[in-house]
Amino acid sequence: MSDRLTEQVRAVMEDASRRAIVPRYRSLSAGEIENKATDDVVTVADHESEAILTEGLAKILPEANVVGEEAAEDDPAIMDRLGLGLCWIVDPLDGTNNFAAGKPPFGVLVALADGGETIAGWIYDCQSDRFCHAGRGKGAFVDGDRVTARTSEQSPPVAAISTIFLDAAEREAVREHIAPHYRLVEIPRCAAEQYPRLALGENDVSLFNRTLPWDHAAGALWLEEAGGKVARLDGSEYRPDDWQRAGLIGAASHELWNELAERVAAMG
């Protein structure tokens, strides 16, 4: 992806953050927060940010479809656009639960896919202004500097694994087959933070159950371009148009990915 495209996308993401998100941080009224699903909420900031992003991105590439998280929530048929030519994939406020609770992290995620394959991704942290971006085959960058994924160099490796969306049997399997081999840490409940942690030496591996495209398209490409590995449990590539399949592993290195994949396979 060109530098010009990245500049344009960043400007739209910053605009959404500045106008819709930051002014409402720690100032939401009860009526501006709605329950979206079990253990999940949506706020007025999500909706307003998505409107700004959708309008701005459409101006950059008018020929591209847009799949926004909140629009898809209202009309699931929008998900069919993921495999049709160029498509923007938008998470207008990633980490909404954190945001609504008045705590970090939270951010904005945008990816561009072509025929169901992610070709570019952008990750913006609304508080720190950190900006990560990647283009397929072009490398991964943080604030303009190219980065290479590094591990925490801790023993055992650091694993950020959530059991929120697992049933009782799956939680027990994690405790038996995975927990003894890693130092488990809490997930940030924000992919815009989790993926950078996997490349910047804070976390070594992460296991995701849900694989919705707005959560993973940008970060998965970025981590891969940094030299880490993101793949399905069977080793196949993550594609945003294959969003209904559960299970995804992200790791700071291919070796760490392989080790966790073997342990997950042992869970049965």
Quickly state the pLDDT bin for 167 (edges 50, 70, 90).
confident
pTM of this structure:
0.95
pLDDT at 204: 98
Mean pLDDT of the chain: 95
pLDDT at 1: 63
Is 162 part of any domain? yes
pLDDT at 37: 74
CATH number at residue 222: 3.40.190.80
Residues 133, 29 share a domain: yes
Q: Residue 260 corresponds to which amino acid?
A: L
Is 52 part of any domain? yes
pLDDT at 19: 98
Phi and psi at residue 231, to the nearest 5°? -160, 160
The residue among 147, 167, 197 that closes a domain is: 147
**Torsion, CA 24, CA 9, CA 58, CA 138, rounded to 10:** -140
The residue among 123, 147, 171 that closes a domain is: 147
Residues 64, 24 share a domain: yes
Q: Which residue has the tokens 């490398």?
A: 139
Residues 133, 9 share a domain: yes
Structure tokens at 84: 């049709």
Quickly state the pLDDT bin for 36 (edges 50, 70, 90).
confident
CATH number at residue 125: 3.30.540.10
Total domains in the fold of the chain? 2
Residues 102-132: pLDDT tens digits?
Answer: 999 999 999 999 999 999 999 999 999 999 9
Residues 189, 119 share a domain: no
d(CA 69, CA 166): 22
E strands within the chain?
33-37, 40-43, 65-68, 86-94, 107-114, 117-125, 131-135, 139-142, 145-147, 158-161, 183-185, 205-208, 229-231, 248-251
What number is the average pLDDT over the span 14-21?
98
15 has a pLDDT exceeding 80: yes
Residue numbers of the domain that contains 220 = 158-266
Name the percent of the chain lying above pLDDT 90.
Answer: 86
Residues 196, 122 share a domain: no
Please count the other Cβ atoms lying within 10 Å of the Cβ belonging to residue 34: 13
Residues 206, 138 share a domain: no
Phi and psi at residue 49, to the nearest 5°? -65, -45
Is 152 part of any domain? no
Residues 168, 96 share a domain: no
Residues 109, 81 share a domain: yes
pLDDT at 267: 81
Is 153 part of any domain? no
- Is the backbone peptide bond immediately before 156 cis, with ω within 30 degrees of 0? yes
Residues 225, 95 share a domain: no
Residues 117, 225 share a domain: no
The residue among 147, 175, 199 that closes a domain is: 147
> Residues 25, 27, 32, CA angle at the centre, nearest 5°?
95
Residues 193, 72 share a domain: no
Residues 184, 63 share a domain: no
d(CA 184, CA 206): 10
Contact 238, 216 (CB under 8 A): yes
Residues 126-166: pLDDT tens digits?
Answer: 999 999 999 999 999 999 999 999 999 999 999 998 777 67
